Amino acid sequence: MLIDSHCHLDMFPPGERPGVIGRARAAGVGGMVSIATSLAAAADLLGIVGDDPALWCSIGIHPHHAAEFPIPLPAEIAALAAHPKMIAVGESGLDYFYDNAPKDIQIEGFRAHIRGARAAGVPLVIHARDADADIARILREERDRGGEFGFVLHCFTGSRALAETAVAIDGYVSFSGILTFPKSQELREIARDLPLDRLLVETDAPYLAPVPVRGKRNEPAHVVHTAGVLAQTRGLSPEALAEATSANFHRLFTKAGA
């Protein structure tokens, strides 16, 4: 079964969440990770995922909100990530497309999240937009200074160079519905050429609905469309692609269990 490695269940109305989750499971989605955008949102997510063995969440502050809160200490992040259902730190990273937060504050927050994730022994979920050079530089610097840490470049739309840098330092690359868009040929070529054992799929729901539901509200069930295009791009059957990306997911998100 497929795993939606990045969605936002808290952004669906509470009364609609059971239907959203049920439709995903009916479509063959065996697990979902609901990603935090703030520490308060992370606390809410624990209530949403509950004790469901196939729902998980993360802890972190999105770069859009980096200037709205004090930057947490790595030890604080690690302590919050100790909860059994918190299987990742993030999403954190850099977004230079929007000017929601100054670059220096985003960078400071990004480094704190990297260090918190390493201390907690969980992977970092990275938001990277129009910041490829700084993302790659900081990943290398933090790895050289503090040691290895797991991470995934979520909703990847960056350069081939950034994707190859991530893979070279044992990172993963996750593709969203953007992969299915007609103008995303260059992105599909990157997805075609990366090692299969470094690929994940996601929705980023309720955003970025893939073809053929583009323009509608996205849901975790729609990850099947992105996975289908990725399978076709790789010359694989949908079943083989699901098996590979699910194995990759569990290799990275070890707290999710087998």
Tens of pLDDT, residues 51-101: 999 999 999 999 999 999 999 999 999 999 999 999 999 999 999 999 899
Contact 106, 69 (CB under 8 A): no
Boundaries of every domain in the chain: 2-256
Tens of pLDDT, residues 185-236: 999 999 999 999 999 999 999 999 999 999 999 999 999 999 999 999 999 9
pLDDT given for residue 159 in this prediction: 98
Tens of pLDDT, residues 144-188: 999 999 999 999 999 999 999 999 999 999 999 999 999 999 999
Tens of pLDDT, residues 30-52: 999 999 999 999 999 999 999 99
Using H for helix, E for strand and C for coil, what is the string for 185-252? HHHHHHHHHCCHHHEEECCCCCCCCCCCCCCCCCCHHHHHHHHHHHHHHHCCCHHHHHHHHHHHHHHH
Contact 228, 218 (CB under 8 A): no
Using H for helix, E for strand and C for coil, what is the string for 122-151? CCEEEEEECCHHHHHHHHHHHHHHHCCCCE
Tell me the pLDDT band of 9, cut-offs 50, 70 and 90: very high
pTM beyond 0.95, yes or no: yes
Q: Which overall architecture, per CATH, does domain 2-256 show?
A: Alpha-Beta Barrel (3.20)
pLDDT given for residue 99 in this prediction: 87
Position 242, amino acid: A
Residue of 202, 198, 204, 210 whose CA lies nearest to 244: 198
Tell me the pLDDT band of 257, cut-offs 50, 70 and 90: confident
What is the percentage of the chain residues whose pLDDT exceeds 90? 99
pLDDT given for residue 59 in this prediction: 97
